[in-house]
Chains A and B, each alone.
Chain A
């Protein structure tokens, strides 16, 4: 195992975050704070409690998930897309490192950044709404696992994309709608029965539900299903990455 290389990639990526501090950390925090101001404080005060939780507090896990998913994907996809785009990938390919180490470096850094952003947003939320975390360990577990899984997913997108447009398309056109329709802003029980069933095909529902359970002890679906789903995601991403590196897909001729 070439730990020096993993460290080098990790530090390189974290330095990139440091250089683009505003865009990387301040921007997502501000946009999430706006959600809290509008939905939590302004509109939220006129909405009745959901399952005994004030509306402002109810949307915290969903908003966190939204940031976590989009940030993980964009960090990791950008991280591996740039060397491909600029051409500096030659150095990764000619270095004595395995693909596992490349993934560890890039995905580790992307996930770290997402978790940091998640925790900052959580702290920000505390200023606007009364927060409680019923199961802090589970909360951290979901936070970490989601960050890692979607950073892996982002890595796959970064390898697949051959233009900046493709890099943006999945987070914008797939992930954001799935999160909005996945119960970030409402409980599934508020939907008509037909749509409740349809929604269950949205994988993000399970993530948000499990995450919300760790905060308030309430969930739309059984917590076991949430765990199963995230493990399925993780396994699928690992399998695709394993395949990418076996075949050299879009990385190596």
Chain B
């Protein structure tokens, strides 16, 4: 399958000398939800801004549906809808007027039916004749999404869509993203809420200090990098680990009342059976046991801190 968006060797150095992107290459497939994770200032917004035409690249190329974003900007931009990070809206326009304006700007003939559909899907229909200035922050965010969807884009960029948004709206947003994907829209979202990427993304890209550290299928990433822990609640607390258990990667936790065993889910032999046998041999009884898998957040923190230690001289 041909990628829908293809970024190759993209670099951006701002006039201030700050290098926001360093030789970034990335392919985005049609119909997927890609989450770009990264700390503040990692280059997520710069990357999106270049693809959308807001920032000029310093070097490298980007194609959208096979068209160059600079030479064929009319084609590429008409395929893309962008929801910016900041709540930048006009103040005195009505909701319907501003969404209709966006559709016109993208060269589409007026279509009140489509505008109504978009506003309804975002629960904005009741507010259609209200001025934007009177809306709450969450509602303004919805207006920005409605503007981005006004021209029926095939690709939607969401730059930190749920920053500062309450739980209910966040869940609504995820639902909307999934339903857009079901309609065939390709979605790229940036976030630093790992929970968000975990909940809705198909693939995850991690970007740090202008470089893409990794792009991976979410499930694969989690199983590949995901460590699993087996926690055993002991009936009697231990002062120290018995010698017979030294060979296992065990740790005593919770004042000696818990044994924590870390293992790799991908390994052929996880060592659980042997451990359990050794435990019964050592006559250690336990009340309860549970396993937990590291979250995307743990993976992300590990990746970014590895990246930072590597860079340090």
Interface residues in chain A, defined as those with a beta carbon under 8 Å from any beta carbon in chain B: 2, 4-5, 7-9, 11-12, 15-16, 19, 86-88, 90-97, 248, 252-253
B97 touches A253 (CB 8 A): no
B115 vs chain A, min Cβ distance (A): 13
A91 touches B107 (CB 8 A): no
B104 close to A (CB within 8 Å): yes
B248 close to A (CB within 8 Å): no
A95 touches B77 (CB 8 A): yes
A93 vs chain B, min Cβ distance (A): 5
Alpha-carbon separation in the docked complex, A7 to B53 (Å): 21
Alpha-carbon separation in the docked complex, A12 to B92 (Å): 11
With A88-B88, A90-B88 known to touch, is A4 a contact of B56 (CB < 8 Å)? Answer: no
A86 contacts across to B, CB distance below 8 A: 88-91
B73 touches A252 (CB 8 A): no
Interface residues in chain B, defined as those with a beta carbon under 8 Å from any beta carbon in chain A: 14-15, 52-56, 73-78, 80, 82, 84, 86, 88-93, 97, 100-109, 147
A8 touches B54 (CB 8 A): no
Alpha-carbon separation in the docked complex, A1 to B77 (Å): 14
A48 vs chain B, min Cβ distance (A): 50
A253 touches B102 (CB 8 A): no
A5 contacts across to B, CB distance below 8 A: 104-107
Nearest A residue to B79, CB-CB:
A96
Supply 11 further A-B pairs (C-beta < 8 A) apart from A9-B105, A94-B82.
A2-B107, A4-B104, A5-B105, A88-B89, A90-B84, A93-B52, A94-B54, A94-B77, A95-B77, A96-B73, A96-B106
**Chain A CB within 10 Å, residue with most, of B86, B105, B109:** B105
A91 touches B105 (CB 8 A): yes
Alpha-carbon separation in the docked complex, A91 to B52 (Å): 10
Alpha-carbon separation in the docked complex, A125 to B109 (Å): 42
A91 touches B147 (CB 8 A): yes
B15 contacts across to A, CB distance below 8 A: 253
Alpha-carbon separation in the docked complex, A16 to B103 (Å): 18
B104 touches A7 (CB 8 A): yes
B56 contacts across to A, CB distance below 8 A: 248, 252-253
Nearest B residue to A7, CB-CB:
B104
A94 contacts across to B, CB distance below 8 A: 52-54, 77, 80, 82
Alpha-carbon separation in the docked complex, A97 to B101 (Å): 13
B101 contacts across to A, CB distance below 8 A: 8, 11-12
B92 contacts across to A, CB distance below 8 A: 16, 19
A118 vs chain B, min Cβ distance (A): 26
**Chain B CB within 10 Å, residue with most, of A86, A87, A88:** A88
Alpha-carbon separation in the docked complex, A9 to B73 (Å): 19
With A2-B74, A248-B56, A253-B55 known to touch, is A97 a contact of B14 (CB < 8 Å)? Answer: no
Alpha-carbon separation in the docked complex, A195 to B177 (Å): 70
Alpha-carbon separation in the docked complex, A97 to B105 (Å): 7
B88 contacts across to A, CB distance below 8 A: 86-88, 90
A87 contacts across to B, CB distance below 8 A: 84, 86, 88
A-B pairs with the 7 shortest C-beta distances? Answer: A8-B104, A87-B88, A96-B77, A96-B74, A94-B52, A95-B105, A96-B78
Nearest A residue to B15, CB-CB:
A253
A2 contacts across to B, CB distance below 8 A: 74, 107
Nearest A residue to B100, CB-CB:
A8
Nearest B residue to A20, CB-CB:
B92
With A91-B147, A94-B77, A96-B73 known to touch, is A8 a contact of B84 (CB < 8 Å)? Answer: no
| Residue in contact with A90 in the complex, picked from B14, B80, B82, B107, CB distance below 8 Å | B82
Nearest A residue to B55, CB-CB:
A253
B54 touches A93 (CB 8 A): yes
Alpha-carbon separation in the docked complex, A109 to B52 (Å): 27
A7 contacts across to B, CB distance below 8 A: 104
Alpha-carbon separation in the docked complex, A96 to B73 (Å): 6
B106 touches A252 (CB 8 A): no
B53 contacts across to A, CB distance below 8 A: 93-94
Alpha-carbon separation in the docked complex, A16 to B80 (Å): 27
A252 contacts across to B, CB distance below 8 A: 54-56
B82 touches A96 (CB 8 A): no
